[in-house]
Structure 1
Amino acid sequence: MSRPLILIAEEQPDLRHQLREYLEQSGFRAVAAGSASEIWNAITTMPVGALVLDTALRGPDGMDLCRDVRERSDVPIILISANSSEVDRIVGLELGADDYMTKPLSSRELAARLRAVLRRSRNERAIGLRSRSEARFDGWRVDFARCEVIDQHGEPVALTAAEFSLLAILLEHSQTVIARARLMELAGVRDAPSSVRSIDVLVSRLRRKLSRGGRPAPIVTVRGAGYMLSAAVERH
């Protein structure tokens, strides 16, 4: 298996070089980017497996860069920032990040989190194979081969890799309550207090995208137990 390619978009040249060296020594391939244009060039010309994105790369509007990347690509994103408040973490996740780290960074922890988001992507592909090539639920059609979700009018809805992975897990266990801890395990999310909040935000994002015409998404919160896809699923 080829080593995954990690794009390191870090504002500080010294840290950018340090992270690249450590990841190379830890079994990854790594390339560095010091500007938004270098990010776009790498994503469009290289098989980038995950992006490590510093919010300071675009100054005070750095968070917007995460949203811009997410709108153009479904590459997993680990957002890094000097801001450690819960609000900043939630905003980063809402803008499409798959994980969030604060500075000063631990290179070892970054490598572990990268393995987690890459494992989540592999789980998504494995679940897609087990679920056959297509699934239908509540007027939605899911094409696992293309990682597409289509509404009843034939219009696609854009999901991030993490959101699609979560949906695939819910489809695989439809009409069954999945405990948060189990959902974190299946999604490849690390076991830490902030991970629980990450799962909640991810479910919230998926619900919002699967709500159409005033009709809520069939993702139920079972208080004290976990989450459940309440709709029946047809597999083809």
Structure 2
Amino acid sequence: MSTSEADKPVHVLLVDDEASLREPLAEYLTGQGFRVSEAESGAGARSVLLNQHPDIALVDIMMPGEDGLSLTRFLTETKGLPVILLTAKGEATDRIIGLEIGADDYVPKPFEPRELVARIRSVLRRAGRAAVASPEEDALYQFDGWHLDPLKRKLTDPDGSVVSISTAEFRLLRAFLDHPRSVLDRDRLLDMVQGREAHMFDRAVDNQVSRLRRKIEADSRDPQLILTVRGGGYRFAANVTRVALARD
């Protein structure tokens, strides 16, 4: 990553239909050194994404028109964008669904803005979006003809085509690639993929494994790369190598 890129402020897409929350929060985040793009709806967020490339999205679940869960699925699966859900206290089921479809974290309303800033930074670190790349992020993963560039979050299949993956799928794949041929139980994978309070959402990891298998397995019904270990979790069966990359 170049010095100019590292010096760029983190770009936050803030999506909430309540102007009374959105506008002061945007002002606060700006004061904390973030660049903020606001949207009051899913349609507005999609419009922003036509010519903007934010680093992370804060998405309210309850919005008129397209709800936050539908928008989250679009952001994670199509744009590979980390997402923090802004939720009301009584939306436990929606929080679970949000995490299962790829959201990185959630913050119940009302929240302390300083806590939200800490969550943003934590999610960006977990997603590999830290301002300065670590040595590990400068190495390309290779497995079974596939390539993963962790800094660019770019997954390439054996034919050379780029395959889109969500933030949660990216972190799950990283966990497997960092621990090839090791049995990783669900609790450990949940900690790696979802982070805080992941134990509350047991089935989230199974859903993410299923989605990742559909991306990288020749036949997801007969997986050869991500194997299920009865009573134990999962094991990544392929050999994994690392190749150092020279960044511009």
Q: TM-score range by the shorter chain?
A: 0.7 to 0.9
CA offsets, 1:209-231, max 9 Å, x none?
A: 33432322533466787654232
1:65 to 71, 76, 83: 71
Name the structure 1 match of 2:108: 102
Taking the aligned partners of 1:207 and 1:217, their CA distance within structure 2 comes to: 9
CA offsets, 1:72-96, max 9 Å, x none?
A: 311111122335223x223223333
Is the counterpart of residue 216 in structure 1 residue 220 in structure 2? no
CA offsets, 1:126-152, max 9 Å, x none?
A: 4442xx334023x54435565333445
Q: How does 1:43-82 map to 2 (within 5 A)?
A: 43-59=49-65, 61-82=67-88
| Aligned 8 A contact 2:141 2:242 in 1 | yes
State the SS of the aligned residue for 2:212.
helix
CA offsets, 1:135-182, max 9 Å, x none?
A: 023x54435565333445555432113322331232122123456676
1:85 to 62, 81, 92: 92
Taking the aligned partners of 1:233 and 1:166, their CA distance within structure 2 comes to: 15
Name the structure 2 match of 1:161: 167
| AA in 1 matched with 2:60 | D
TM-score normalised according to structure 2 size: 0.73
Name the structure 1 match of 2:3: none
RMSD: 3.4
Gaps of 5+ in 2: 1-6, 244-248
Q: 1:173 to 1:74 in 2, by over 3 A?
A: same
Q: How does 1:181-192 map to 2 (within 5 A)?
A: 189-190=195-196
Taking the aligned partners of 2:194 and 2:67, their CA distance within structure 1 comes to: 30
| Aligned 8 A contact 1:23 1:30 in 2 | yes
Is the counterpart of residue 118 in structure 1 residue 108 in structure 2? no
| AA in 2 matched with 1:6 | V
Q: CA deviation at 1:185?
A: 6.3
| AA in 1 matched with 2:86 | I
Taking the aligned partners of 1:47 and 1:167, their CA distance within structure 2 comes to: 23
2:17 to 8, 11, 21: 11
Q: 1:195 to 1:17 in 2, by over 3 A?
A: farther
TM-score normalised according to structure 1 size: 0.76
State the SS of the aligned residue for 1:89.
helix
State the SS of the aligned residue for 1:110.
helix
Gaps of 5+ in 1: none
Name the structure 2 match of 1:136: 143
* Count of matched residue positions in the alignment of Structure 1 and Structure 2: 232
Q: CA deviation at 1:7?
A: 1.2
Percent of matched pairs sharing the same residue: 37
Q: 1:217 to 1:120 in 2, by over 3 A?
A: farther
Q: CA deviation at 1:119?
A: 0.5
